Structure 1
Amino acid sequence: MSGTDRFDIPRAAVAANVAAALAEDIGSGDVTAALLPDHDDVAYLLCKEDAVVCGRPWFDACHRALDPEVRIEWRVAEGDHVTAGTVLATLEGRARALVSAERTSLNFMQTLSATATVTARHVAAVAGTGTRILDTRKTLPGLRLAQKYAVRVGGGHNHRIGLYDTVMLKENHVRAAGGIAAAVDAARAQSPDLPLVIEVETLDELRAALDAGCTRVLIDDFDAATRREAVRIAHAAPYDGRIPLEVSGSVDLDGLRAIAGDGVDVVSIGGLTKHVRAIDLSLKLGPPPA
């Protein structure tokens, strides 16, 4: 199957994740694996539930860190939708290395496949509406780039990566600056080349943000009627839909289609990366079932 080149992830980020995870798990040495005869063996990776496959770079790096000569043959591509019982990959390598890398490689695969799978469900819910699904910074510590990669694999899009790549004026920033206009002036003076997102909590604040100009306006926790009025205002003269609207807060899968139907441009959802239920995977020694 094809590789993972359509989803960008810095190799250094993968290597750092894997090094930290293996050090955490193996420490001074795998005392149980040391009991095994260290001969060549085979193994297979089994998915036990319907899922979107994600995490191949981390899985590969875990096994190659312990056995550079391991041979991994993937039967599925990154981003593939698979059903329960699918053999995702087969491996050939040293027995001790296979079992030592097992848990860490599975931890990455099950976590990232979970994020990709949940993201894909949300993307499917807004299909055809033009609304995009975004993640947030509510990620597992140390796995920010990995989980945001998984969101892209699931068909979603990334919000800001961190506090350094986008200016996002929220309630506390606006209050401390003395209002939206003052906060925008300060943001433009300090970071003129960065995207600027303004969070608003009322329709008056929405008008102020649209008047000030920005990359996107985030309407936070608006009820349905107020949200529709916000869309009407943003698309009417003199604004004419030039500044996209983002919805965030209290968004669930069941209500997502209705939110998209109101005409908002993007919906950001912390649960894509925060509410992770691992996909059920296992790595088994021996040849895969026929």
Structure 2
Amino acid sequence: MNAQTTTHVLFGTDELDGWLHEDIGYFDLTSAVLEIGDRPARIAWKARGSVVAACTEEIVRLLAQRQVVQIRHAASGTVLQAGDALIEAEGPAQALLDVWKVGQNLLEYACGVATRTHELVRAIHAVDPRVGVLTTRKHPPGLRRVAIKATRAGGAWPHRLGLSETVVVFPQHRALLPEGGWASIRETLTRNAPGLAEKKIVIEAATLEEAELAVQAGADVIQFDKVMPEQLAPWCTHLRNRWPHLKILAAGGIRHDNATGYAASGVDALVTSSLYYGAPADIGVTLTPG
């Protein structure tokens, strides 16, 4: 096992409790009927194949909130092989049963995302280790912290955590401005940019002409949307010759099967949401007497 990256994302205690409340309801009827809740037991969540661990720390917290004290876990970002344990714990059977399925569901989604991210980052860095992988906020609502932690565990960085964090001008914004938007963007940025000195201005473009207008309007970063790699390559060369400090991103439809082409195009980073979707990791759970 080796640690791929150090990952920390803040999860509130109420959020973790909410996961348990959603699943448990009032009490575990099955274990109550079988009268097994007070028995000492052991639980283990184990990988059935090669995975990157993610969100194991949140399950440790869930167990600790149920007064389980004997807990061992692989840190998020650790690469595991089939048969390796993500988490092992000993305690009252009911506490372990309460966390069993919530923990498995969380691990299967988060580790699936982390593993896809790890594989994509490795493939891109084999082409050019300077190219970054950035993940979007195009995940189902309510999953942002899990998605961020899982992609960080795999070696990617979040592109944008929310609307209040970054200035990203899309065509939808320009459509609300007069005269195609470019003059208004330039005028407004000239007026307001001093108050945003620590922020980068990102403007999305679909053509080389739009990219040039965006830079002239004040863009620090151009985000090309749905432009093929073979077209991006000459555009990147042209733009860097004119504006050496400009950063260039590729976004839209980037997947594992085409990412290496984008990585070779000359962009600084790839922006993708594909990592959130795919097969879950295969995680098995065993419960035995303590």
Normalised to the residue count of structure 2, the TM-score between the two structures is 0.89
Q: Quick one: distance in 1 between partners of 2:227 and 2:266?
A: 14
78-87 vs 263-272, greater mean Cα deviation? 78-87
Partner deviation per Cα, 1:184-219 (whole Å, 9 max, x = no partner): 543565674243211001111100112223231100
* Aligned partner of residue 157 in structure 2, secondary structure: coil
* Aligned partner of residue 127 in structure 1, secondary structure: helix
Alignment partner of 1:226 is 2:231: yes
Per the alignment, residue 111 of structure 1 pairs with 109
Instruction: State the AA in 2 paired with 1:78.
Output: S
Q: Quick one: distance in 2 between partners of 1:228 and 1:135?
A: 22
Q: Quick one: distance in 1 between partners of 2:146 and 2:190?
A: 31
Alpha-carbon contact 1:63-1:105 (below 8 Å) kept: no
**TM-superposed deviation, 1:287:** 7.4
Distance 1:225 1:3, change over 3 A: closer
Alignment partner of 1:61 is 2:61: yes
Alpha-carbon contact 2:6-2:153 (below 8 Å) kept: no
Partner deviation per Cα, 1:90-140 (whole Å, 9 max, x = no partner): 210110111121011111111111111111111011115111001001123
112-121 vs 86-95, greater mean Cα deviation? 86-95
Instruction: State the AA in 1 paired with 2:95.
Output: A
Per the alignment, residue 6 of structure 1 pairs with 6
Per the alignment, residue 257 of structure 1 pairs with 260
Instruction: State the AA in 1 paired with 2:247.
Output: P
Per the alignment, residue 281 of structure 1 pairs with 283
Distance 1:31 1:195, change over 3 A: farther
Identity %: 25
Q: Quick one: distance in 2 between partners of 1:217 and 1:132?
A: 15
**TM-superposed deviation, 1:255:** 1.7
Instruction: State the AA in 2 paired with 1:234.
Output: L
The structure 2 residue matched to 1:204, chosen from 190, 204, 209, is 209
Distance 1:83 1:202, change over 3 A: same
Q: Quick one: distance in 2 between partners of 1:189 and 1:62?
A: 49
Q: Quick one: distance in 2 between partners of 1:4 and 1:93?
A: 30
Distance 1:224 1:45, change over 3 A: closer
**TM-superposed deviation, 1:70:** 3.3
**TM-superposed deviation, 1:84:** 1.7
Partner deviation per Cα, 1:6-33 (whole Å, 9 max, x = no partner): 3221242xx2432221111111222112
Distance 1:153 1:287, change over 3 A: farther
Alpha-carbon contact 1:42-1:285 (below 8 Å) kept: yes
Alpha-carbon contact 2:54-2:110 (below 8 Å) kept: yes
Per the alignment, residue 93 of structure 2 pairs with 95
Q: Quick one: distance in 1 between partners of 2:92 and 2:187?
A: 61
Alpha-carbon contact 1:33-1:100 (below 8 Å) kept: no
Two-structure CA RMSD over aligned residues (Å): 2.4
**TM-superposed deviation, 1:224:** 3.1
Normalised to the residue count of structure 1, the TM-score between the two structures is 0.89
Q: Any unmatched runs of 5+ in structure 2?
A: none
Per the alignment, residue 142 of structure 1 pairs with 142
Q: Quick one: distance in 1 between partners of 2:119 and 2:32?
A: 42
**TM-superposed deviation, 1:89:** 2.7
**TM-superposed deviation, 1:227:** 0.9
Instruction: State the AA in 2 paired with 1:228.
Output: A
